[in-house]
Structure 1
Amino acid sequence: MGHGDDRWNSSNPSRRGIAKLTPQGKTVETPRRLARLYLVKAEQFAAEAGDALASSRYDAAMLNAVHAGISASDAVCVAIGGRRSSDPDHQHAARLLEQTGGGSKEFSESAKRLRMLLGKKNAVEYESRVTSKSDATDAVKRAGRLVSWAGRIVDDARV
């Protein structure tokens, strides 16, 4: 490590948590110890999604399920890679999740679950479409699987 190596220099943008543009979109370095914070958020969103589903509030169930999936992805990416997506296009979070897993089947399947959740987000949030009971139920199940999986990954990472 010579004087030309600025990885450890506090003026290096990546050391200050400033977003970087990568093939996975904008990302930000995040201390691995914060992975549990993102996992707790994911668990809270998943719980709210389940409550909304039980109360026939299907749009709320869908959107909370989507946010649970995004936070679960953040938890995994932070736990393993010390980086999370900060891109407004949440599809980049799915790409980063896949990349974090090195192309493993397990991570690819989880990224696919996240993409399926994200595919419903805009229709519910910005269009006049109303979420059906069936779609909400499916989203809550997918989010639950993602959050459970993220919990195992974060536990295994021992952060």
Structure 2
Amino acid sequence: MARGKTAVVRRGEARLYLGKADQFLEQARAALDARRYDAALLNGIHAAISGTDAVTVALGGRRSTDPDHQRSVDLLEESAASDPEIRERSRQVRALLAQKNTVEYESRSASARDARDGVERAGRLVEWAREMLAKARL
């Protein structure tokens, strides 16, 4: 059982979370183009979180409601623990989440390189979430 708080969600709602991921990713890319690197990176991180929610809803009908976003990755790992791809994607989401506190709450700004890298990684994660929903026929 995943640590943290979770909610039961109809599997059909996975597309709604993917839609949120797409919106966050679109804003991340726009912010990157406008050289607003903190906004770009943070929106990329939120895109990855929403993409993770889409996958956990699609696979298991649950999503994390815990304030600690690491719990959403725990739930992702639980949904298909033996799948090496899930383990790798979980590692990638955790790497993005490791930057969230810094970019959101600390005085140090994200660099252009960090923002670009984060947005690119988020884009790959959202695309993977889209593929997972297609495999789940949602």
TM superposition score normalised by structure 1: 0.84
Other-structure match for 1:15? none
In the TM superposition, 1:59-98 aligns within 5 A as: 59-98=38-77
Other-structure match for 2:122? 143
CA contact (8 A) 2:21 2:48 kept: yes
Query: Percent same amino acid at aligned positions?
Result: 53
Of 112, 131, 136, which aligns to 1:152?
131
Question: Over aligned residues, Cα RMSD in angstroms?
Answer: 0.9
When structure 1 is superposed on structure 2, of 90-99 and 30-39 the one drifting more is 90-99
SS of structure 1 residue aligned to 2:68: coil
CA contact (8 A) 2:4 2:71 kept: yes
Of 85, 91, 109, which aligns to 1:130?
109
Other-structure match for 1:29? 8
Of 89, 114, 117, which aligns to 2:96?
117
CA contact (8 A) 1:46 1:144 kept: yes
Other-structure match for 1:104? 83
Q: Provide the rounded CA distance (Å) in 2 between the counterparts of 1:147 and 1:23.
A: 22
CA contact (8 A) 2:24 2:43 kept: yes
SS of structure 1 residue aligned to 2:81: coil
Q: Which consecutive unaligned segments of at least 5 residues does structure 2 have? A: none
- What is the number of equivalent residue pairs in this alignment? 138
Higher radius of gyration, 1 or 2: 1
CA contact (8 A) 1:24 1:93 kept: no
- Residue 23 of structure 1 and its aligned partner are, at CA, apart by 3.4
TM superposition score normalised by structure 2: 0.97
Give every structure 1 segment of 4 or more consecutive aligned residues whose post-TM-superposition deviation is greater than 2 Å. none
Q: Provide the rounded CA distance (Å) in 2 between the counterparts of 1:59 and 1:94.
A: 23
Q: Provide the rounded CA distance (Å) in 2 between the counterparts of 1:110 and 1:41.
A: 19
SS of structure 1 residue aligned to 2:7: strand
